């Protein structure tokens, strides 16, 4: 009788353990399914998307921390364009783009920046955040784009409210969009992007007409002044 009781007790314990095992296994499968779903959707979750998180502990530059930056605000740039210094200056095709010392960037650096811009636009297309016009860009799209470009080219932090990046992108985005995105925001078939690349390459290598004109006028004024001085010597 004692042996039968022991067997009966063991059977009950086995049944209990089997039930607990099945319950734990079910909970584990549910947990794994939930975690897998969160991983797949992480790029659309603002709380886990690395491009929407502020990972840098360093404070953003200010005009006080970088006093050599000439165009900290768009108003500074507009005032400079209305000054006599603008007509005598040679700062390239994008005079408002400058380094920490206030010096204009090179044509090669501008070319690299435009490559990054195109990468950022493709990122917006992949996330279905690409706008029909740059002024229609959503807040999350703006944060993603600025985060991507500024992390690669910190010079865009040297300005108030990201105005330099917005100014550069506003004109370039329209032509890029015509080549790469349809009216529904979907990517077009590949093939016609070479024209855009040639256009950007020409812009990067050549100075603007205004810049050339200012150089010519400045050179002409210098020659005229030399002639006057020579006349006075005689």
> What are the tokens at 80?
């400079």
- Which pTM value belongs to this model? 0.61
For residue 108, tell me if it sits in a domain.
yes
For residue 205, is pLDDT > 60? no
Torsion of CA 172, 175, 180, 184, to 10 degrees: 100
DSSP letters spanning 55-87? ---SPPP-TTT-TT-S-SSHHHHHHHHTSHHHH
Mean pLDDT in the chain?
A: 78
For residue 120, tell me if it sits in a domain.
yes
For residue 159, is pLDDT > 90? yes
Enclosing domain of residue 101: 90-180
For residue 43, tell me if it sits in a domain.
no
For residue 148, tell me if it sits in a domain.
yes
Please report which confidence band the pLDDT of residue 212 belongs to, taking 50, 70 and 90 as the band edges.
low
Please report which confidence band the pLDDT of residue 51 belongs to, taking 50, 70 and 90 as the band edges.
low
Residue 124: the pLDDT is: 93
- In the chain, the DSSP E strands lie at none
For residue 39, is pLDDT > 50? no
For residue 66, is pLDDT > 80? yes
Tokens 């006349």 locate to: 231
For residue 133, tell me if it sits in a domain.
yes
> What are the tokens at 28?
């584990």
Please report which confidence band the pLDDT of residue 8 belongs to, taking 50, 70 and 90 as the band edges.
confident
For residue 134, tell me if it sits in a domain.
yes
**Exposed e or buried b per residue across 137-172, where buried means at least 16 C-beta atoms within 10 angstroms of its C-beta:** beebbbbbbbbbbbeebebbbbbeebbbbbebbeeb
Task: Report pLDDT digits (tens) over 72-86.
Answer: 999 999 999 999 988
Please report which confidence band the pLDDT of residue 42 belongs to, taking 50, 70 and 90 as the band edges.
very low
Domain count along the chain: 1
* Residues contacting 192, CB < 8 A, separation 6+: 179
For residue 215, tell me if it sits in a domain.
no
- 8-state DSSP, 46: T
Q: Using an 8 Å Cβ cutoff, are 110 and 93 in contact?
A: yes
For residue 159, tell me if it sits in a domain.
yes
């Amino acid at each position: 009788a004692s042996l039968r009781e022991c067997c009966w007790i063991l059977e009950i314990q086995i049944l209990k353990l089997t039930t607990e095992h099945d319950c734990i296994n079910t909970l584990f499968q549910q947990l794994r399914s939930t975690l897998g779903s969160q991983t797949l959707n992480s790029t659309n979750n603002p709380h886990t998307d690395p491009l929407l998180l502020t990972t840098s502990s360093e404070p953003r530059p200010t005009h006080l921390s970088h006093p050599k930056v000439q165009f900290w605000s768009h108003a500074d740039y507009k005032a400079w364009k209305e000054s006599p210094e603008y007509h005598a200056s040679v700062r390239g095709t994008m005079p408002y783009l400058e380094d920490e010392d206030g010096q204009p960037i090179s044509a090669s650096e501008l070319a690299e920046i435009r490559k990054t811009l195109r990468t950022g636009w493709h990122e917006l297309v992949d996330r279905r955040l690409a706008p029909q016009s740059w002024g229609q860009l959503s807040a999350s799209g703006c944060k993603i784009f600025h985060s991507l470009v500024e992390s690669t080219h910190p010079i865009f932090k040297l300005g108030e409210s990201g105005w330099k990046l917005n100014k550069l992108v506003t004109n370039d985005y329209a032509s890029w969009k015509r080549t790469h995105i349809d009216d529904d925001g979907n990517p077009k078939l590949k093939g016609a992007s070479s024209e855009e690349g040639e256009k950007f390459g020409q812009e990067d290598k050549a100075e603007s007409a205004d810049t050339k004109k200012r150089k010519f006028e400045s050179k002409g004024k210098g020659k005229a002044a030399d002639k006057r001085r020579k006349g006075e010597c005689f």
